[in-house]
Amino acid sequence: MMVRVPPASSPLHHHHRTLSPSTVPSNDPVGNKVYLQGEVYAIRDSEYHRRNQRNCSGLQMLNALYTHLPAVRAQYKSPSSYLTDLVNNLKRDITRRRVTGDPWDLARKWAKPRSLVPDSARGLGDVLAALSTAPIIAADVGYKGTQLKVAIMLKGGQKAVFKPKWYPRDEVIEGEVYAGADRHNGEIAAFHLSRLLGFPMVPLAVGRSVSLKRQILPVASRKLAATFFLRRGGRLCFYGVCYYCHKDSSVCDNGRTLEGTIILWLPQRLPLMHLPHPWAHTYKRTKLAQWEENENYCERVLHHPPFNSDKSPRLLDLMDTAVFDFLIQNGDRHHYTVVSDEPSSSVVLLDNGKRCPESIKNQTVLFLRSLVITANLSRVIFPPRPSPPKNAADLTNEELV
């Protein structure tokens, strides 16, 4: 299911197809079947729909939720001091205060299987500043994955990743939710959003403009350097080594620098493991996934490890991940990542560059507040097993907010 929150007036409004509320719900023969309640659109590809008319349980749940929206709005009409403090503290944390002489060590100590950054992270501003200014002492082709990236080593021995900017910030990406290359600034927004939501599982990420000529090429491995070339007009370009890496899809500097995102590498003591996401797309237009076809799919998932253990928070963590991905508009979490050999590990939120809306920088306090409310919803609507999940429609307003 693909869910969007784009009323034209909202700060989340962005450049995807804009749908007219007046067409809802409709079943137009060529386009999408669109559901609307309040200001939420839930869109499903029409082709899927024709084949599987029954599959609307998620939409019904959403509809049930939106009956509570007016009450939630009323309660949060004015900013609470809790949220004002929360945002102020987050802001203070990301200010450079020169409280640590060893930012890499500080960040390494912070990282735990259920929290990569503490709620109150004195020195975070110093780590972020170090990421965006520390000299790059080595650069190599990306480690794995399909997209162009540069593995870098920063002075002081810290590993990191450089993901280049592909699009102007207001570029429209048409197609499926997983279409297009990554948005470098999506990774940065995702990092701050994760802290705001109390789900700090995104590795630290900052923006940085690098000089390919002066900062990357001189320290590049031979393999990486071999993919550099000059365009007419003096722009330096490269395309790296990866599944989608090709000279035709290279990135170029503007004559001086290339903008991108630097993402901190997680410490060695937190090795990662990738697991298939039970609610992944099939990535084939004509093939439905089991979760799209089978009304009892969730029950089936609950019979398998790690979901069959009352001690495992995994399903709740995946739900929080779903809320998070909804907010950053990421439809590409085909696998999820956890820390190996840590059964209680939360989901490590890597690879957040898909489709993060450009307008996230225009957030207002109002918007932030609604995010915090949304983030808490999954815990309320889906209480931990074994207590039987309540029907969202049965919840009182007090329970929801």
The sheet that has 228-230: what strands, in order across it? Answer: 228-230, 236-238, 251-252
Question: Is residue 236 at the binding interface for ligand ATP, with CB under 6 A as the rule?
Answer: no
Q: CA-CA distance, 239 to 220, in Å (whole number)?
A: 13
In the complex, least distance from residue 164 CB atom to ligand ATP, rounded to whole angstroms: 12
Which is closer to ligand ATP, CB of 265 or CB of 291?
A: 265
- The two tokens of residue 190 are 């995702």
45 catalytic, yes or no? no
Among ligand ATP, Mn ion, none, the one that 265 touches (CB under a kind-dependent 5 to 8 A) is ligand ATP
Is residue 82 within a helix (H) or strand (E), and if so which, with residue range? helix 81-93
Q: Which amino acid is at 9?
A: S
Q: Is 283 in the site for ligand ATP (CB under 6 A)?
A: no
Asked if residue 69 belongs to a known ligand binding site, the reply is no
Q: If binding is defined by CB under 6 A, does position 351 make contact with ligand ATP?
A: yes
Amino acid at 89: N
What does 284 bind: ligand ATP, Mn ion, none (CB cut-off 5 to 8 Å by kind)? none
* Residue among 161 and 377 whose Cβ is closer to ligand ATP: 161
Give φ, ψ of 290 to 5 degrees.
-60, -40
User: Which neighbouring-strand residues pair with 34?
Assistant: 26, 43
263 binds, among Mn ion, ligand ATP, none (CB under 5 to 8 A by kind): ligand ATP
187 binds Mn ion (CB under 5 A): no
Q: What does the buried/exposed string (b/e) look like for 280-306 if buried means 16 or more CB atoms within 10 Å of the residue's CB?
A: ebeeeeeebbebbeeeebeeebeeeee
Is 351 a binding residue for Mn ion by CB under 5 A? The answer is yes
Assess 321 for contact with ligand ATP (CB under 6 A): no
Judged by beta carbon, residue 50 or residue 335, the one nearer ligand ATP is 335
The answer to whether residue 325 forms part of the interface with ligand ATP (CB under 6 A) is no
Compute the radius of gyration of the chain from its Cα atoms.
22
Q: Cβ(117)–Cβ(203) under 8 Å? A: no
Tell me the number of residues near Mn ion by CB under 5 A: 1
Phi and psi angles of residue 294, each rounded to the nearest 5 degrees, phi first: -105, 115
* H helix count then E strand count, the chain: 13, 14
Position 93 contacts Mn ion (CB under 5 A): no
Query: Among residues 251 and 371, whose Cβ is nearest to Mn ion?
Result: 251
Q: Could you tell me which of 195, 210, 18 has the C-alpha nearest to residue 5?
A: 18
Query: Footprint of ligand ATP on residues 144-163 (CB under 6 A)?
Result: 144-147, 161
Among residues 310, 325, 332, 341, which one is catalytic? Answer: 332
CB nearer to ligand ATP: pick between 74 and 137: 137
Q: Does 390 show up as a binding residue in the annotation? A: no
Q: Are 154 and 134 in contact (CB under 8 A)?
A: yes
> Under rule CB under 6 A, which residues in 188-227 are in contact with ligand ATP?
203
**Least distance in Å: CB of 103 to Mn ion?**
27
Spatial distance between the Cα atoms of 312 and 308, rounded to a whole number of angstroms: 8
Taking CB atoms, the residue at the shortest distance from ligand ATP is 145
* Least Å from the CB of residue 353 to ligand ATP: 7
Which listed range, 40-48, 99-107, 140-148, 367-375, lies at the site for ligand ATP (CB under 6 A)?
A: 140-148
Query: By C-beta, is 330 or 378 nearer to ligand ATP?
Result: 330
Enumerate the β-bridge partners of residue 335.
Answer: 276
Q: How far apart are the first and last CA of the chain?
A: 25
Reduced to 3 states, what is the DSSP secondary structure of residue 206? Answer: strand
Select from 131-139, 166-174, 247-255, 266-274 the region that touches ligand ATP (CB under 6 A): 266-274
Q: Does 272 bind ligand ATP (CB under 6 A)?
A: yes
Torsional class of 224: left (φ above 0), alpha (ψ -120 to 50), beta (otherwise): alpha
Contacts (Cβ under 8 Å, ≥6 apart) of 394: none
Number of residues that this document lists for the chain: 401
| Residue 88 touches which of ligand ATP, Mn ion, none (Cβ within 5-8 Å per kind) | none
For residue 110, give the 3-state DSSP assignment. Answer: helix
Which DSSP letter does residue 310 get? T
Quick one: which of 80, 91, 95, 143 contacts ligand ATP (CB under 6 A)?
A: 143
Q: Which residues are annotated as a binding site for Mn(2+)?
A: 182, 351
Q: Which residues are annotated as a binding site for ATP?
A: 147, 163, 263-266, 351
Q: Rule CB under 6 A: which residues touch ligand ATP? A: 143-147, 161, 203, 263, 265-266, 272, 274, 337, 350-351
Q: Rule CB under 5 A: which residues touch Mn ion? A: 351
Active site residues: 332
